[in-house]
Amino acid sequence: MGHTIREIATALDAEAAGNLDLVVTRAAEPAAADADALALAMDARYAEGIRQGAARAAMLWQGADWQALGLEAAIFVPRGRLAMAGLSRMLDPGPQIARVVHPMALVDPTAEIGADAAIGPFVTIGPQVRIGPNARIASHVSIAEGAEIGADALILQGARIGARVRIGDRFICQPGAVIGADGFSFVTLEKSGVEEIRETLGEREEIRQQSWVRIHSLGSVRLGDDVEVGANSTIDRGTIRDTVVGNGTKIDNLVQLGHNVQVGADCLICGQAGVAGSARIGNRVVLGGQVGVSDNIFVGDDVIAGGSTKIRTNAPAGRVILGDPAVKMETQIEIQKAMRRLPRLAATVAALQKAVSLKGQSD
């Protein structure tokens, strides 16, 4: 379905010029845009791409000379990526799920399904489940007994929602995510080697044969409003209390949140990050890809951790950290510079040693 330049500009609260009744049906990179596409060139660096393509309209940086670029219409935005958020929302048709309960879905008679729900084939919804209005649930999703999901949920193919999980409004869940599996929690009959190592930091009195006894997860998971969970991510249920994720937090693909983890509001947790059991993450924290957080520690509000950082101790609020183990980013940059100089330093030391040795022989 197409949109006029006027409609797009109004939705984005942006300025526009030229033929505002021009209709576009999709967005495209400038050089690949045809006559029906809106070229995205929100920075002057992409101007040449417009000349290479065939777009008649483009989204441009403020102050751009749209007529010199050969365009019939233009939309001007001060913040390109923010404009992209609004434009992509307009142009995304979303999954095609009919606003009915598919006859091949299995819904327990005690479940409560809100108005205008769209439930695809092979979905399983257990006893006492409550799902809010306007839910869209794609094929092969399972929602276990007692789960509660708010309004306007979008749960995509193959996701698994565990027993008694509670989720707020406007939840988005990508394919294959698992929310509410048991936590990874085990204990030995006597003090384990892991417990001993934690106390001694490396010393072991005796290596003994030990077997693991399972600690069952009696808690569940609570997610706030506007939470998103990426494909194949997992959030484990708590041991006694619930694992919690605050309002507005966005979780990327292949993320693991362990049992009893507490995550604040408006956090961004990127792909392959892992947060171990009982760790607490503050508000507005950003964890880059492959960041690891040790168990039972606290990461303060507004912390930003660069990719592959390993957080082993508490991180103060507002700190920008990097590396393994995590240190201030500026410290880690100096460490990396020093490491690059190590071969040259080693060669210098070897030359000095040789000179001293020769001098000693001559004496």
Question: Which residues belong to the active site?
Answer: 259
Strand partners, 228: 172, 250
- How many CB atoms neighbour CB 21 within 10 A? 10
Rounded to whole angstroms, the Cα distance separating 4 from 27 reads 13
Inter-residue contact 183 to 239 (CB < 8 Å): yes
Buried b (16+ CB within 10 A) or exposed e, 36-56: bbbbbbbeeebbebbeebebb
Inter-residue contact 264 to 282 (CB < 8 Å): yes
